[in-house]
Structure 1
């Protein structure tokens, strides 16, 4: 179980992402985004060593609000061979120095995300310890698989991040979130699995979108 500490973090996650997001091929804004933290959820690392968070941030600096999904992992030491995936380092008021990584490159996050899609992991509330997040929905219609030992090999393009996944599938992380009207957004028509959730929008609205989808072939 991940314990959520009420403490200071310097720099903040939003400050780190303000510098990092413009370097991504799927980023749609200008040179200096104006970000607000909008929502997301967490997963628990079974070993209790790695923090796993799926963070939604909204860029309010352009003519239209744009919401981005940023999977992050937080580690107490550098992840070997993942220098290219480092978002930055932070000083945590309880845990000390933490290395924040683009989670699509972290095998712990990817294994737990695949377990979530397959129905073997539970999405957890972003800011409350030991509390499931029941707004997160998931589906999977493919063959059973075991993600243990899976090594991610992600690639980014203008449409998001894609990772080869078990049984010849491809995991698509939807970096630019596209809200829909449905209370529980369905998987894309050609997907064998997906994860969807919501976050607060302007004027007390609730926005919902597919966060990740799993595709055959």
Structure 2
């Protein structure tokens, strides 16, 4: 379960992530876009926030953009830092391209292996009450015979429409442009209102 907070965030997520998108090799050149869906994955240790955005555009193309939120800088993660933001409840947060964050990679692989799903969402209000929020996008792993003792991932490699992350003898392929052809293998699939059967990642 992912706990969210009723809070003010500066800069906003869109203000932080939007300019960064335009520096990526897999950006499709569409400047007018916004989130059409988002889901969370659970860090088993409860330390790292993992949010996966689906950003749509007027042209109909959709980008898959997972990010992580940390309460301190990720050692050795400078190349994957998107920026920092101030959260009125949690304080300063470091925001990373999740493909360069080992917690995201291991959580995603475990979600695929165990047929796991997106996290349930609970919003903690300023008065201390809690509200269950319905996800605006969903994801589920396909299951697969995958090892549980994989080494730490190597640095991700961005391509024109995907990102590849070597993890021992496996390669995690993440579809940055939804619809990108990925190597066959156990997968993470998703849907949102307006799109279903989305192939988001595979292990090969």
In the superposition, the TM-score normalised over structure 1's length comes to: 0.80
**Residue of structure 2 in register with 1:209 after alignment:** 198
Cα distance between partner residues in 1 of 2:99 and 2:108? 10
Cα distance between partner residues in 1 of 2:60 and 2:110? 31
Cα distance between partner residues in 2 of 1:127 and 1:100? 21
Specify the SS of the correspondent of 2:29.
coil
**Residue of structure 1 in register with 2:69 after alignment:** 74
**Residue of structure 2 in register with 1:158 after alignment:** 160
**C-alpha deviation, 1:150, in angstroms:** 2.1
Specify the SS of the correspondent of 2:4.
coil
CA contact (8 A) 2:9 2:86 kept: yes
Cα distance between partner residues in 1 of 2:138 and 2:103? 23
* Residues matched between the structures, number: 196
CA contact (8 A) 1:124 1:130 kept: no
Gaps of 5+ in 1: 180-186
Judging changes above 3 Å, is the alpha-carbon distance between structure 1 residues 126 and 161 closer, same or farther for their aligned structure 2 residues? farther
1:46 equivalenced with 2:49 (yes/no): no
Gaps of 5+ in 2: 124-130
Q: Deviations over 1:53-111 (max 9, x none)?
A: 11111233xxx122111110000111111111111111112101101000001111111
CA contact (8 A) 1:85 1:102 kept: yes
Counterparts in 2 of 1:1-217, with a 5 A limit? Answer: 1-30=1-30, 33-60=31-58, 64-119=59-114, 121-125=116-120, 135-142=138-145, 144-147=146-149, 150-166=152-168, 168-178=169-179, 191-201=184-194, 206-215=195-204
RMSD over aligned CA atoms reads 2.6
CA contact (8 A) 1:140 1:192 kept: no
